Amino acid sequence: MFDSVVHSRSVAPNAGLRTVEKVAEAKLPTDVGEFRLIGYRSLTSDEEFVVLAQGEIDAHRPTLARIHSQCLTGDAFGSTKCDCGQQLKSAMKLIADEGQGAIVYQQQEGRGIGIINKIRAYALQDEGADTIEANERLGLAVDLRRYEQCAEILCDLGFRRVRLISNNPDKISAMKKFGLEVVERVPLEIKFYRSLIRYLSTKRKQMGHLIRLPEDEYERTAEPGLQTI
């Protein structure tokens, strides 16, 4: 499938059994700068991962990293039902501005339910269900994503101290479980489209995501989750 094999260099801090391997690397010029495009594949499933990276990763220096879960509608079509596309673009800009960091792009569309089920869930949302109710009415898990292999990839790239670009506490825990030190959580600037507010509010209330919404300017109630990091 791939033309060349690039052997991975370092061993992850808690690596017992390696579960991913680096298989290809090339340059990718983009509208925010040039990245290295690195392909990994899972040794335990048919999942493939793509990394966008800039600069040399220094284990001692806290470095920007993001695990981005594939969202075709947001990443490619500019959907305003979710903030995925905005987050991906902002993270790329942030890393390009620093000249250092990496995004691990995992192919777990629709929080792991796949694009067809995601369209089914959107149809229920059109009728009034929120993002969680829609999955439940379809008999699907709310979130099937796992991040361990993404953390393993960051270790393999040389990361040890991470400035994690994420609102998702599960991603923060996955990093820590894998022996990566999360020294900072870096929030992203998001435009709050009307169609986005309910989705973000549900993710915050029911999935514990660390999201600041425009209404926070008016409500100064302390939510424990917001002070986690």
Contact between 74 and Zn ion per CB under 5 A? yes
Of 66, 143, 160, 204, which is the active-site residue? 143
Phi, psi of 196, deg, nearest 5: -95, -30
Contact between 196 and Zn ion per CB under 5 A? no
Of 145, 160, 163, 204, which is the active-site residue? 145
Contact between 110 and Zn ion per CB under 5 A? no
Task: Decide whether 84 or 96 has the Cβ nearer to Zn ion.
Answer: 84
Q: Is 130 a catalytic residue?
A: no
Closest CA to 81 of 192, 167, 187: 192
Tokens, residue 56: 């040399």
Q: From CA 207, how far away is CA 142, in angstroms rounded?
A: 9
DSSP for 134-184, please give it.
Answer: HHHHTT--S-----HHHHHHHHHTT--EEEE--S-HHHHHHHHHTT-EEEE
Contact between 84 and Zn ion per CB under 5 A? yes
Q: How far is the CB of 84 from Zn ion (least distance, A)?
A: 3
Q: How far is the CB of 113 from Zn ion (least distance, A)?
A: 12
Contact between 82 and Zn ion per CB under 5 A? yes
- The residues assigned a catalytic role are 143, 145
Instruction: Provide the binding-site residues for Zn ion, judged by CB under 5 A.
Output: 71, 74, 82, 84
